[in-house]
Structure 1
Amino acid sequence: MLASISDNTMKQYSVTYKLWWSFCLENSIKTFDAPLSAVITFLVNLFNKGASYGTLNSHRSALSLLLGNNIGSDERVKRLLKAFYRQKPSHPKYTTTWDPKTVLDHVSTWYPNSDLGLFEITKKLAILLALCTSHRVQTLSLIKITNINKTVSGIKILIPDIIKTSAANREQPVLFLPYFVNNPSICPANTLEDYLQATSKLRPEGTTNLFLSYKKPFKMVTSQTISRWIKQTLAESGVDISIFSAHSTRHASTSAAASAGVCIDTIRKTAGWTSSSSMFAQFYNRPVTDEGAFARSVCGVNNND
């Protein structure tokens, strides 16, 4: 059962289980054999203490895994969660987003890449990958140099590792970075190649992850470190990081691509959206014909660049 959920989900559920353990001890309830009425009381108590709808929904999922008995699908629990939502509706994290051009204009001054220090080219690559692929930082942290393949038009990166959106019968993401021949200062493919060159003699033996720390001993880094680099670049570019996190690159890039007229099918495929966005794909009903369309639209580069 535990193997069916990710490590991050387990960390999230552990919060629920600590709260549930305390609740059961205080009320003399069997932790692993509690009645549905106890679950409802537990959720209501948390709601009265200020828990959001999203948090309560997470607690419901965690308890459903622990207790079974169809807690997650019980009509009374569903009705309770609906009441929580109506009384305290959840809202999107961002009501607006920032223009990628602001950041791209800033990092375009970090050129030529061969003149950059390791920290600068590392941050430049991180932000360009985030914007041009619209993938989560988790995905970027899993890029292996052994899965990077150069083509005539750009660079393809395979991601065979399990990520947040991985599931049975679902394709693993393939990232594509086109060459911007006439705009090399923000070319994601060139920046990747230059980064590999800059780190080739620094990379410890056996280290295949793309991103390394910019200080000795140049070890592989976590997704949290990459997020910090992206957020630093956003701040340096004038983006308000008190509002926008590193994950906002996903919002900004997909919004920019949509505004530039890129079809929803291309946006969905590039960003790794699942069938939950199929309604939009069917509405626009345009085929994916250009792998580099997303990155070029985000960076404001035309087909001849």
Structure 2
Amino acid sequence: MIKRGVPQASLGIMLASFATSTLNQYSSSLKSWWKYCKDNNFDIFEADSSKVLSFLTLKFEEGASYNSLNTHRSALSIILGTNATVNDCVNRFLKGVYRLAPPTPKYSTTWDTNIVLNYLSTMYPYDNIELVDLSYKTCTLIAIASAQRMQTISLIKLRNISKHEQEIVIKISDLIKTSKPGACQPLIRLPFIHENPSICPALAIETYIEKTRDLRSNLPDDHLFVGVRRPHKKVCSQTLAHWVKKVMQASGIDISVFGAHSTRSASTSAAYRSGVNLEVVRKAAGWSNTSNVFLKYYRRDITSSNNNNDFVNAIFGT
């Protein structure tokens, strides 16, 4: 960036625009670009679209997917600028890749949420439940009921949880993967399912908070989920994903095929099949009102529904 005229004082601010996960993802692309330039005696910081196309063609011939090639292009844009990476030739090349090797969804099918919910219902009542079981259950119920990513669930904080007569509302104040200027932060609404308390996410959250109250006395933050073993520190999204996969495996779901992220497809598909309005499904999962992600991969017949709580009620059979 400095070679492109960025002042030294501005560099740190510009780098802050990238999420840590994005920088980690770009690192592999930039290492490949550095090796390509070294092998061909090119300047890594000076290249036109012809050299970019040669690099992308090589990666395609090595088996890189359409999505991987797009990642390479985005990474190269940081050091080369958009003149070399976003033009008619590069765009046409990627369109050709899309036709020759179109990207496919990770899951061609999804699993039935009832299988997992039936298993979780056996962990009730909560009088003598172990912390590890309650942690796994609460996390999985939130994942299914909210259709949010593990990253979002890991950011839930006690101060942002408010209990109302009919529901628990959770605000997400931290930046997430889809955060951008002008976009609304996630708002998770979990109605109390009085007809079936054994799988009620709101009741599970209440119970979990009460059971972990004494464990939080020395913690510097107020994240909802804490470790199941001492010293009970806050847990990351990878740990929550591990918890959910434990529940899926115990329920009989093939975790060699489905990961924790599949809770999003499973819950949104279940709600949509039950007749929940597409707009409600999009809102619950954090997709924009015009997003076609859901319809592209999980299209089903639909009937009318207008209540936001219909998303949870449809999944949990109320």
User: TM bucket by the smaller chain?
Assistant: over 0.9
- Does 2:317 match 1:300? yes
2:124 to 95, 99, 111: 111
Count of residues paired in the alignment: 299
| TM-score after normalising by structure 2 | 0.90
What secondary structure is seen at the aligned counterpart in 1 of 2:189? Answer: strand
Shift of 1:275: 3.8
Alpha carbons 1:265, 1:285 under 8 Å: kept: no
| CA 1:141–1:51: 2 relative to 1, 3 Å | same
Corresponding residue for residue 86 of structure 2? 73
- Does 2:254 match 1:240? yes
- Does 2:229 match 1:215? yes
What secondary structure is seen at the aligned counterpart in 2 of 1:177? Answer: strand
1:5 & 1:298 partners in 2: Cα distance?
A: 36
| CA 1:279–1:26: 2 relative to 1, 3 Å | closer
| CA 1:280–1:52: 2 relative to 1, 3 Å | closer
Question: What amino acid is aligned across from residue 70 of structure 2 in structure 1?
Answer: N
Alpha carbons 2:140, 2:247 under 8 Å: kept: yes
What secondary structure is seen at the aligned counterpart in 1 of 2:215? Answer: coil
2:56 & 2:86 partners in 1: Cα distance?
A: 15
Superposed CA offset, 1:26-70 (max 9, x none)? 111111111221111111111111111110111011111221143
2:242 to 228, 235, 245: 228
Alpha carbons 1:123, 1:230 under 8 Å: kept: yes
Q: Where do residues 48-59 of structure 1 align in structure 2 (5 Å cutoff)?
A: 48-59=61-72
Corresponding residue for residue 142 of structure 2? 129
What secondary structure is seen at the aligned counterpart in 2 of 1:115? Answer: coil
Alpha carbons 1:148, 1:158 under 8 Å: kept: yes
Corresponding residue for residue 3 of structure 2? none
Question: What amino acid is aligned across from residue 161 of structure 1 in structure 2?
Answer: D
Q: Where do residues 135-174 of structure 1 align in structure 2 (5 Å cutoff)?
A: 135-174=148-187
What secondary structure is seen at the aligned counterpart in 2 of 1:180? Answer: coil
| CA 1:292–1:69: 2 relative to 1, 3 Å | closer
Shift of 1:295: 0.9
Alpha carbons 2:170, 2:189 under 8 Å: kept: yes
2:157 & 2:115 partners in 1: Cα distance?
A: 29
2:303 & 2:183 partners in 1: Cα distance?
A: 21
Alpha carbons 1:178, 1:189 under 8 Å: kept: yes
Corresponding residue for residue 34 of structure 2? 21
Corresponding residue for residue 98 of structure 2? 85
2:293 & 2:92 partners in 1: Cα distance?
A: 26
| TM-score after normalising by structure 1 | 0.94
1:135 & 1:61 partners in 2: Cα distance?
A: 26
Question: What amino acid is aligned across from residue 183 of structure 1 in structure 2?
Answer: N
Corresponding residue for residue 265 of structure 2? 251
Corresponding residue for residue 288 of structure 2? 274
Alpha carbons 2:282, 2:289 under 8 Å: kept: no
Alpha carbons 1:16, 1:59 under 8 Å: kept: yes
Superposed CA offset, 1:111-157 (max 9, x none)? 01232100000000011000000000000000001100001111000
1:130 & 1:166 partners in 2: Cα distance?
A: 19
- State, as a whole percentage, how many aligned pairs show the same letter: 44
Alpha carbons 2:191, 2:312 under 8 Å: kept: yes
| CA 1:223–1:27: 2 relative to 1, 3 Å | same
Which structure is higher in RCO with an 8 Å CA cutoff and minimum separation 6? 1
1:218 & 1:63 partners in 2: Cα distance?
A: 41
Superposed CA offset, 1:178-228 (max 9, x none)? 101121000100000000011000123323111111000000011000000
> What's the RMSD between the two structures over aligned residues?
1.9
| CA 1:153–1:291: 2 relative to 1, 3 Å | farther
Alpha carbons 2:144, 2:263 under 8 Å: kept: yes
What secondary structure is seen at the aligned counterpart in 2 of 1:164? Answer: coil
Alpha carbons 1:114, 1:194 under 8 Å: kept: no
